[in-house]
Chains A and B, each alone.
Chain A
Amino acid sequence: MKRKLSLLLVATLLCTLFAMPVSAREVSNPARQETAVAATAGTNYFSRTTTKLNSLNGLTASSTLSSGSCSGNSRSITSVTVNCRVSSGSSRFTLTVESPSGTIAEKLCGTSSGTYTFTEFNNQDPNGKWTVSVSSQGTVSTVTGTLKVNYSYSY
Chain B
Amino acid sequence: MSLNVSFHTNGTSTYGNSGGSKINTNSAQYKAVKEKGWLSGVIENEMAMSAEERLIYEIFGGRDTIIKNLMRRFDADGNLLNSHGVAGMDVTGKGTSWQQLTTVSEEYRQKMFDLVKKEFIRENGVANGDTTNRSSVFTEYQLSLDIDDRLKGTWSLEQYEKQYWNAFYQAAKADNPSWKPGQSFDASIFDSITRESVESTLVRSGNTLVRKTIDYSI
Which chain B residues in 120-179 approach chain A with CB under 8 Å? 125-130, 132, 134-135, 138-139, 142, 151, 154, 158, 161-162, 165-166, 169, 177
Which chain B residues in 41-55 approach chain A with CB under 8 Å? 41-42, 44-46, 53
A37 touches B177 (CB 8 A): yes
Q: A69-B129, A139-B56 are in contact. Are A102 and B139 (CB under 8 A)?
A: yes
Residue of A whose beta carbon sits closest to that of B162: A74
Which chain A residues in 94-150 approach chain B with CB under 8 Å? 94, 98, 100-106, 108, 119-129, 131, 133, 135-139
Number of interface residues of A (CB under 8 A): 48
Q: Does A68 contact B (CB under 8 A)?
A: yes
Q: Does B213 contact A (CB under 8 A)?
A: no
Shortest Cβ distance from residue B55 to the other chain A in the assembled complex, whole angstroms: 11
A70 touches B42 (CB 8 A): no
Residues in chain B near residue A74, CB distance under 8 A: 162, 165-166
Q: Does A152 contact B (CB under 8 A)?
A: no
Q: A75-B127, A91-B45, A133-B83 are in contact. Are A102 and B66 (CB under 8 A)?
A: no
A58 touches B134 (CB 8 A): no
A68 touches B83 (CB 8 A): no
The size class of the interface chain B forms with chain A is: 35 or more
Residues in chain A near residue B68, CB distance under 8 A: 58
B129 touches A70 (CB 8 A): yes
Can you list, as one digit per residue, whether each of B72-97 has a CB less than 8 Å from chain A (1) or not (0)?
Answer: 01000000101110100111111110
A57 contacts which of B61, B82, B89, B142 (Cβ < 8 Å)? Answer: B61
Q: A57-B61, A92-B41, A94-B41 are in contact. Are A103 and B89 (CB under 8 A)?
A: yes
Q: Does B57 contact A (CB under 8 A)?
A: yes
Q: Does A41 contact B (CB under 8 A)?
A: no
Q: Does A60 contact B (CB under 8 A)?
A: yes
Shortest Cβ distance from residue A68 to the other chain B in the assembled complex, whole angstroms: 5
What's the Cα separation between A82 and B169 when bound, in Å?
32
Taking A102-B84, A102-B138, A106-B36 as known contacts, 19 extra A-B pairs with beta carbons closer than 8 A to each other, sorted by chain A number, are: A58-B65, A58-B70, A59-B69, A67-B129, A68-B130, A73-B166, A92-B41, A100-B129, A101-B154, A101-B158, A105-B92, A105-B93, A120-B91, A125-B161, A128-B135, A137-B38, A137-B44, A137-B66, A138-B45
Q: What are 25 of the A-B contact pairs (CB < 8 Å)?
A: A57-B66, A58-B70, A66-B130, A70-B127, A73-B166, A92-B44, A98-B82, A100-B134, A101-B135, A101-B138, A101-B154, A102-B84, A102-B89, A102-B139, A104-B92, A106-B92, A108-B36, A120-B94, A124-B158, A127-B129, A127-B134, A136-B66, A137-B41, A138-B57, A138-B66
- Residues of A that sit less than 8 Å from B by CB: 37, 56-60, 62, 66-70, 72-75, 91-94, 98, 100-106, 108, 119-129, 131, 133, 135-139, 155
